[in-house]
Structure 1
Amino acid sequence: MQFTDVTYKVVLKGMTSSGKKDILNGISGSVNPGEVLAMMGPSGSGKTTLLKLLGGRLNHHPTNGGSITYNDKIYSKFLKSRIGFVTQDDVLFTHLTVKETLTYTARLRLPKTLTKEQKEKRALDVIYELGLERCQNTMIGDSFVPGLSGGERKRVCIGNEIIINPSILFLDEPTSGLDSTTALKIVQMLQDMAKAGKTVVTTIHQPSSRLFHKFDKLILLGKGSSLYFGKASESMNYFQSIGCSPLISMNPAEFLLDLANGNINDVSVPSELKDKVQTGNEASAVVHEYLVEAFESRLAETEKKKIIVSVPQDEALKIKVCSSPKRQWGASWDEQFSILFCRGIKERKHDYFSWLRITQVLSTAIILGSLWWQSDAENPKDLQDQAGLLFFITVFWGLIPVFTAIFTFPQERAMLNKERAADMYRLSAYFLARTTSDLPLDLILSVLFLLVVYFMAGLRLSAASFFLTILTVFLCIIAAQGLGLAIGAVLMDSKSATTLGSVTVMIFMLAGGFFVQKVPIFISWIRYMSFNYHTYKLLLKVQYEHLTPIVNGIKIDSGLTEVAALIAMVFGYRFLAYLSLRRMKLQ
């Protein structure tokens, strides 16, 4: 991989007249198979931006210049299948095991030409290659769920990328948050991968001296500019040649980062530089300017000559993104849906069937059954009481799905971004699998609830009424889910979505007509948009159509309008959620 004069700018409000801020200023370098290239620099120096640009994870814009080539070819969607990219954060599903995580990745990312058995074997090979065989059946876990150690989680993340046997592997601070011994194991593993013929590019914040000496090449960045590029082993000699050397025994990485930060304590510097700093100028700016000028005059041209860029000159002027005529999906649409559906059920069954959720459903059912114990609908007073029970059931199974679904896309945004950036699946396959994998779990919980309440409360004893009640409640659940999905997808912020969801459900509930029968005209129209209202009318029809035509001022009719309205909500809200996800900038 070769890159020359790479620049990157972002548009920020309140900036200068140009409205742009320089993030990268003409960065050049190259890395070959068998080499590990490390990018170092202070926070905000641009190393992660450079890594994302090189890995094709940033949207390229005409204002960004330079040339990036891979085996003399510019970036394309086809090349994406040969590139692995490990993000800084460990984005993994908490309740899947190591083996399940890597197997699902293999089935989605490996070529269609391989059979399911061959893909699963590749997942096992990666497990053994990364030394994860002892924990392959352990859940990933998180801060609340016991699982893997930090080093094991990082190896799983790396495994997710090397499972496709990429030619080039990018890693964003793979040792962040790990102890020195574990970090050394990770870097040793990367070095072994490079020796096997891969190209490895990684950002690293502050490596130990043992880690530093394992890198083949080094780019040192400061405020978006190159301060050094070349062999890592020769970096100290270069800085000594420009008059900068440590006064005490020091980790080379620590020394380089001190210089990049403009900190010259315990550092010997040329007298002219020391004089400038002592005259009251800002030390960091003066040191930065000196290092940039030194690199440009002594090293930059020499290193650029080593980088042979064979793309045509007119194409090398700007960073290009070519679209392959056809994306290389690892599985067909129906296979993607099937894999994601199964993965979704395995991941979420732990939350759905946790003791807390089951206790919530059963305890509510028992309390309701006790309060309305064997009520008799033949008695007008009991009928009014039973209508109250039906309204509570409507509200209960409207609230839970809304506030469960609201968090779906905000919580999975990082995972969706990561997997879509790697072209693991189509958005439509993910969306349909994600919005249907909850349905079997919701159905089980609602049936469990109604089995308790229905017979304890003495509701209409007929098979048709019982199953119609289940279907009505289930229709309410999936309509309410759709609303939660839409709110979450539109806002993509859990707090804002929860607030909007609370207000919306409250308005729907009040406009339903149970609390106030004569709802003002300027509000009453809202009831027709409320799943609570339509569900309540259907439940009244199922229970009392043989007894009375009107209950609590609500006329019992054929129910077709209510069913049609709920079905429209089921699909309408989900369509809105899908469009909102489409508008998200997913690489």
Structure 2
Amino acid sequence: MENTTTVVDHVKSPAGSATNIISHCNITQSPNQNQSPTSQFPLVRESLRPITLRFEDLAYTIRSQSGDDHGSSSQTSNTTRTLLSGVSGVVRPGELLAMMGPSGSGKTTLLTALAGRLPGKLSGTITYSGQPFTNSIKRKTGFVTQDDVLYQHLTVIETLTYAALLRLPKSLSQQEKVKQAELIINELGLTKCRDSIVGGPLIRGVSGGERKRVSIGQEMLVNPSLLLLDEPTSGLDSTTALRLVATLKRLAQGGRSVVTTIHQPSSRLYWMFDKVVVLSDGCPIYSGHTGRVMEYFSSIGHVPGFNFMNPADFVLDLANDVSPTKNQDDHQGIRPDHHEDQESIKQFLISSYKKNLHPLVKDDIRQNARDTTRVIQGMTQSTQNCDQHKLQWTTSWWTQFKVLLKRGLRERRHESYSGLRIFQVMSVSILSGLLWWHSDLSHLQDQVGLLFFFSIFWGFYPLSNAIFTFPQDRPMLTREHSSGMYRLSSYYFARMAGDLPMELVLPTIFVSITYWMGGLKPSFVTFILTILIILFNVLVSQGLGLAIGALLMDLKQATTLSSVVMLVFLLAGGYYVQQIPPFISWLKYISFSHYCYRLLLEVQYSKNEVYECGIGVRCKVSDFPGIKNLGMGNLWWDVAALGIMLTGYRLIAYVALQMRKSR
């Protein structure tokens, strides 16, 4: 059954006038898709601008290190490995292209190159309707990775709604963006699970097929003209995979160019593709229409061993250097596994492609290219002024910050306010309060120890939690930022603000319990100052953890380094070692625990306060060895030092993220 839908877009010109662009898309409803016959895309968004993807003679090599011939790692040499070599093809609007090949054949590398996300130098040419890859093309391109990078605790509707609020232009109202997410849910058959959490490896959520459709839905929100998918059927059963490919076929028939990698499709899936590119070790052995595969390989002497053999199985056997021929030597129809035969098969298929198919593919690429260029030039001239004034981001910084903050709070509410974390802090606070129960100035050493415990515990605890932040967020940050969803700065500040509630609430509760149980100065002002100092210390410690995590982006390395740093700060804090040798005394000046400890002592004890240092003997607290050797009386210098660390650590973390983004 065929439906015709109308897509209306309100596009504002630089002068502020609104222009209504109406485009008609024919979407064929697949009988294999469990959706109503009236499912459609009545979307209020940018009009669908068809993109013809052409890639010609693509080649990509990387440098890798290898040991000597004896397997020794002491001697390594830089070698180059070819991942792509001479790959060409064309995908026009309405076509569904499948890239096939064995594992390691270069499918994902080719798809990443077509998405404009491949690092390093790529030779050859890739054009999008005759134009190079630009930010405008980037925003009209949807890229779905093999691994579903989704927030596990968000529901399906929440996931798509937040994506819509970030990706759709600010000319649309919030209600229209939410409606857009609802339409995507209906179109992709996600209505039954709209309120279910996405889930993940350790959290039960929606099924694998539904999770993959959620990933596709995030890209469909912007009505992409070019949709690229990496192994979308991986891990799915045959029926779910068929429904998913039927969805991709329907999206292509709506005027989009759809490219997907697939490992070993069934015959039903194979015949749903319009074109296929077969790779073997980065080299193409076929590129063209799916219906001509068997005919082509038969013409060069490779005839399938069975009359009704799945073409996908046949070409994958060839790509794996195995030729299933009619003159089989065993009942499986596979030629015996001889190294010389395999090398000759592979080289023969590559040379046959270069001789027979490569000229035809290049002719197909250049077919009507002159007319396409002329049309694109006319469109460019008519929209040149508008493109010059087009904002780089679809939404404002403030909108991005609010959406990311709200999404982060909803995603991490289970983690931040988990019962285990609260129990951990509460149990330590009560235990420490009991250990220091009603200590007074007659036990000055114990009180000083409690204050040092405050500085150390609320230095190590936030640090150990903060190092996980950016390494865990890295996959999501890479995917969303490469899609142009938001600025790095808006993400960074939203993440910082989202972590504040839990980072500040738990220390406040901890100090409120332990302070009074421990018998510290019964002054409300001193109590408030103690809390503020601990919170200041927490923010500095968290900043150091963020910097370590952003610099290393490896949890094992970050955990190891943070343990060493905290051990150094513990020893140089001024409690265990009071007379540090001059050649290493500089360590205390980089220890935030040292400054926090001194501040806690400054507000806890006055200059002229005395304690009982012996029977009938009273001494000044400032003369106590553990306090005197710290060099008290520099309160504002300690505050300034912590302030510099607070700013510096977070600035280092942001710069580290910025540098990784630009790589």
When the two structures are superposed, what TM-score results if normalisation uses the length of structure 1? 0.91
1:461 corresponds to 2:537: no
In structure 2, the residue matched to 1:344 is 408
In structure 2, the residue matched to 1:282 is 340
Instruction: Decide whether aligned partners of structure 1 residues 393 and 258 sit closer, same or farther in structure 2, where only a CA change above 3 A counts.
Output: same
Which one of the candidate residues 51, 55, 59 is aligned to 1:7?
59
Query: Which structure is richer in relative contact order (CA contacts within 8 A, separation 6 or more)?
Result: 1
Q: Which amino acid letter does the alignment assign opposite residue 216 of structure 2?
A: I
In structure 2, the residue matched to 1:420 is 481
Provide the rounded CA distance (Å) in 1 between the counterparts of 2:80 and 2:316. Answer: 27
1:81 corresponds to 2:139: yes
Query: Any idea what SS the aligned residue of 1:59 has?
Result: coil
CA apart distance, 1:586: 4.6
Query: Any idea what SS the aligned residue of 1:66 has?
Result: strand
Are the counterparts in 2 of residues 225 and 292 from structure 1 also a CA contact under 8 Å?
yes
Provide the rounded CA distance (Å) in 1 between the counterparts of 2:316 and 2:146. Answer: 20
- The more displaced of 248-257 and 76-85 is 248-257
Query: Any idea what SS the aligned residue of 1:137 has?
Result: coil
Provide the rounded CA distance (Å) in 2 between the counterparts of 1:306 and 1:270. Answer: 36
Which one of the candidate residues 500, 503, 511 is aligned to 2:572?
511
Q: Which amino acid letter does the alignment assign opposite residue 585 of structure 2?
A: S
1:390 corresponds to 2:451: yes
Instruction: Decide whether aligned partners of structure 1 residues 295 and 269 sit closer, same or farther in structure 2, where only a CA change above 3 A counts.
Output: farther
Query: Any idea what SS the aligned residue of 2:585 has?
Result: helix
Which one of the candidate residues 417, 425, 444 is aligned to 1:361?
425
In structure 2, the residue matched to 1:501 is 562
Q: Which amino acid letter does the alignment assign opposite residue 659 of structure 2?
A: R
Q: Which amino acid letter does the alignment assign opposite residue 314 of structure 2?
A: F
1:259 corresponds to 2:318: yes
Q: Which amino acid letter does the alignment assign opposite residue 641 of structure 2?
A: A
Provide the rounded CA distance (Å) in 2 between the counterparts of 1:170 and 1:468. Answer: 56
Provide the rounded CA distance (Å) in 2 between the counterparts of 1:69 and 1:425. Answer: 26
Identity in percent: 49
Query: Any idea what SS the aligned residue of 2:123 has?
Result: coil
In structure 1, the residue matched to 2:622 is 549
In structure 2, the residue matched to 1:94 is 152
1:579 corresponds to 2:658: no
In the TM superposition, what whole-angstrom CA distance separates every residue of 1:13-35 from its partner, at most 9, and x where no partner exists? 46999954322112111111111
Which one of the candidate residues 97, 104, 108 is aligned to 1:37?
97
Q: Which amino acid letter does the alignment assign opposite residue 635 of structure 2?
A: G
CA apart distance, 1:136: 1.9
- The more displaced of 466-475 and 428-437 is 428-437
Q: After superposition, where does 1:472-551 map in structure 2 within 5 Å?
A: 472-545=533-606, 547=609, 548-551=621-624
Query: Radius of gyration: which is bigger?
Result: 2
1:447 corresponds to 2:508: yes
In the TM superposition, what whole-angstrom CA distance separates every residue of 1:260-299 from its partner, at most 9, and x where no partner exists? 01022x434799xxxxx98965333211111112222222
Q: Which amino acid letter does the alignment assign opposite residue 653 of structure 2?
A: A
Are the counterparts in 2 of residues 99 and 137 from structure 1 also a CA contact under 8 Å?
yes
Provide the rounded CA distance (Å) in 2 between the counterparts of 1:492 and 1:262. Answer: 39
Which one of the candidate residues 214, 222, 236 is aligned to 1:156?
214
Query: Any idea what SS the aligned residue of 1:141 has?
Result: coil
Which one of the candidate residues 253, 270, 287 is aligned to 1:212?
270
Query: Any idea what SS the aligned residue of 2:457 has?
Result: helix
Are the counterparts in 1 of residues 429 and 514 from structure 2 also a CA contact under 8 Å?
yes
1:561 corresponds to 2:561: no
Are the counterparts in 2 of residues 78 and 328 from structure 1 also a CA contact under 8 Å?
no
In the TM superposition, what whole-angstrom CA distance separates every residue of 1:75-98 from its partner, at most 9, and x where no partner exists? 111211100000111111122222
- The more displaced of 5-14 and 392-401 is 5-14
Q: Which amino acid letter does the alignment assign opposite residue 291 of structure 1?
A: L
Query: Any idea what SS the aligned residue of 2:164 has?
Result: helix
1:22 corresponds to 2:82: yes
In the TM superposition, what whole-angstrom CA distance separates every residue of 1:535-585 from its partner, at most 9, and x where no partner exists? 111111222226333551334325111111111111101111111112114
In structure 2, the residue matched to 1:319 is none
Provide the rounded CA distance (Å) in 1 between the counterparts of 2:60 and 2:327. Answer: 31
Are the counterparts in 2 of residues 244 and 269 from structure 1 also a CA contact under 8 Å?
no
Q: Which amino acid letter does the alignment assign opposite residue 398 of structure 2?
A: D
Provide the rounded CA distance (Å) in 1 between the counterparts of 2:337 and 2:527. Answer: 88
Q: Which amino acid letter does the alignment assign opposite residue 496 of structure 1?
A: Q
In structure 2, the residue matched to 1:321 is none
Are the counterparts in 1 of residues 588 and 594 from structure 2 also a CA contact under 8 Å?
yes
Q: Which amino acid letter does the alignment assign opposite residue 319 of structure 2?
A: A
Query: Any idea what SS the aligned residue of 1:218 has?
Result: strand
Q: After superposition, where does 1:122-133 map in structure 2 within 5 Å?
A: 122-133=180-191
Provide the rounded CA distance (Å) in 2 between the counterparts of 1:149 and 1:388. Answer: 53
Which one of the candidate residues 200, 216, 219 is aligned to 2:258?
200
Instruction: Decide whether aligned partners of structure 1 residues 281 and 360 sit closer, same or farther in structure 2, where only a CA change above 3 A counts.
Output: closer
- The more displaced of 111-120 and 10-19 is 10-19
Provide the rounded CA distance (Å) in 2 between the counterparts of 1:474 and 1:389. Answer: 16
Instruction: Decide whether aligned partners of structure 1 residues 192 and 521 sit closer, same or farther in structure 2, where only a CA change above 3 A counts.
Output: same
CA apart distance, 1:105: 1.1
Are the counterparts in 1 of residues 270 and 312 from structure 2 also a CA contact under 8 Å?
yes
CA apart distance, 1:349: 2.1
1:433 corresponds to 2:466: no
Query: Any idea what SS the aligned residue of 1:549 has?
Result: helix
Are the counterparts in 2 of residues 243 and 270 from structure 1 also a CA contact under 8 Å?
no
1:300 corresponds to 2:358: yes
Provide the rounded CA distance (Å) in 1 between the counterparts of 2:359 and 2:128. Answer: 21
Q: After superposition, where does 1:327-338 map in structure 2 within 5 Å?
A: 328-338=392-402
CA apart distance, 1:470: 1.4
- The more displaced of 496-505 and 424-433 is 424-433
Are the counterparts in 1 of residues 545 and 562 from structure 2 also a CA contact under 8 Å?
yes
Q: Which amino acid letter does the alignment assign opposite residue 222 of structure 2?
A: I
Q: Which amino acid letter does the alignment assign opposite residue 515 of structure 2?
A: Y
Q: Which amino acid letter does the alignment assign opposite residue 549 of structure 1?
A: S
Which one of the candidate residues 235, 239, 243 is aligned to 2:293?
235
In structure 2, the residue matched to 1:274 is none
Structure 2: 5+ residue stretches without partners: 1-52, 68-75, 330-334, 374-386, 610-620
- The more displaced of 576-585 and 48-57 is 576-585
Instruction: Decide whether aligned partners of structure 1 residues 491 and 269 sit closer, same or farther in structure 2, where only a CA change above 3 A counts.
Output: farther
Provide the rounded CA distance (Å) in 2 between the counterparts of 1:282 and 1:419. Answer: 47
Q: Which amino acid letter does the alignment assign opposite residue 276 of structure 2?
A: L
In structure 2, the residue matched to 1:316 is none
When the two structures are superposed, what TM-score results if normalisation uses the length of structure 2? 0.81
Structure 1: 5+ residue stretches without partners: 272-276, 313-323
